[in-house]
Structure 1
Amino acid sequence: MERALCLVMGYVFGLFQTGYIYSRSKHMDIRNYGSGNSGSTNVLRVMGKKAGLIVFLGDAGKTIIACLLTRLLFRSQPELLYVYLLYTGFGVILGHNFPFYMGFKGGKGIAASAGLLASTDWRVMLVCLVVFVAAVAITRYVSLGSILVMICFFIGMVFCGWRGDFGIAAAHLTEFYVLAGLISAMGIWRHHANIKRLLSGTENKLGARKE
């Protein structure tokens, strides 16, 4: 019951489509421009750095708020809290990626995943940030940086869970690892078109008008 609540609550928060809302405030629909994606990367390419930052913070922020609510609701269950946080974060990502009122066409969930990182472990978040910045600075491929972040997220969650940093009961560690794997796989799968372009050498670099 608690897991379903976290998942549904997260999905509801994920429905707040910052990119779409922001673009509509500027009398445009971001889904009709660039890659057609409503996430922060496409907003950055089409509408500029300020817009991209606003949308990124909004999409990360909705995960942080949802996770704060989860912490409040389940503070009496420390042995399961981080499992519930992953359910909540996964729900936000699903709502962001597949909003029912937009024909299930949303973003790729990277900013929402960044919010989940900020809500779990600052050390893993820092490593992911360094990896992302380094990858984008060296290659100028935002998609590559995003994919590497999702891989680092999974490794970091497994490592911290194995070390006992999250206080998760041993009986729930496998569930925690599976959730982390699903979140990571979702982020990578949402970049399947980018992966094809990266392999073929046709992926657009940062600064291009299309993703």
Structure 2
Amino acid sequence: MLRIWLLIIGYFIGNIETGYIFGKLNKMDIRNYGSGNAGATNTLRVLGAKAGLVVFLGDFCKSLIPCLVVRFIFRDNISLSYVYMLYIGLGVVLGHNFPFYLGFKGGKGVASTAGIILAIDIRIALVCLIVFIITVAITRYVSLGSIFVMIILIGMSHFLVRFSYGFGDGQSSMEFRLLTAAIGVLSIFMHRANIKRLLSGNENKIGKKVEK
């Protein structure tokens, strides 16, 4: 039951749609421009770098802070603290991607997932950051960098859970792997249109401006 409550709490936190709020402050619905989602990348493309940074930090912190709070509350049981943290983190991403008051049309959850990654392990976060920067610098495709980050999240979490978090081979270990896989796969699924455009060569590159 606690897991369900953590998902629900996370979902409502995720409904704090930073991109949509920032757009409304600029008298626009950000979802009507660019790629049509309320995330940091589209805000960057439509409203510029400062707006994109503000939205990224908002979406990043709304997952990072609840995850760290949950880890602290359940710190006496290391393995369960990680599992519970992932439940609230998954809830945040679901709330961000599918906000009920916006017709379930939000962002793609990359910034919020980045907050979860940092809460899990700074080593995973650093590797993800390096790969993301290199990928975007070479290809100028933010979506491709985001997809690579999710693959790294799944792979490194699967490896490190066995050696770094005190799980052993019990149920918590399997639950941790399933949750990190679910978070990563969800983000990749949200990029399905980007994947189609990447394969066809029509994906938008970073730095390309759109008409406001």
**Above 0.5 in TM-score?**
yes
1:14-53 residue pairs with structure 2 within 5 A? 14-53=14-53
Q: Does residue 1:145 correspond to 2:151, yes or no?
A: no
C-alpha RMSD of the superposition: 1.1
Corresponding residue for residue 128 of structure 2: 128
Q: Does residue 1:88 correspond to 2:107, yes or no?
A: no
Contact 1:81–1:168 at 8 Å: present in 2 too?
Answer: no
Identity of aligned residues (%): 55
TM-score, normalising length: structure 1: 0.95
Partners of 2:160 and 2:188 in 1: CA distance = 21
TM-score, normalising length: structure 2: 0.95
Corresponding residue for residue 119 of structure 1: 119
Corresponding residue for residue 166 of structure 2: 167
Q: Deviation string for 1:147-195 (max 9, x for gaps)?
A: 00000111111111021x1222532111111111111100100000000
Q: Deviation string for 1:14-66 (max 9, x for gaps)?
A: 01100001111111110111111000010000000000000000000000111
Partners of 2:77 and 2:10 in 1: CA distance = 19
Deviation of the 1:9 alpha carbon: 1.5
Q: Which amino acid aligns with 1:200?
A: S
Contact 1:63–1:92 at 8 Å: present in 2 too?
Answer: yes
Partners of 1:67 and 1:184 in 2: CA distance = 16
Number of corresponding residues: 209
Contact 1:6–1:70 at 8 Å: present in 2 too?
Answer: no
Structure 2 residue ranges without an equivalent (≥5): none
Structure 1 residue ranges without an equivalent (≥5): none
Q: Deviation string for 1:105-150 (max 9, x for gaps)?
A: 0000000001001111000000000000000000000000000000
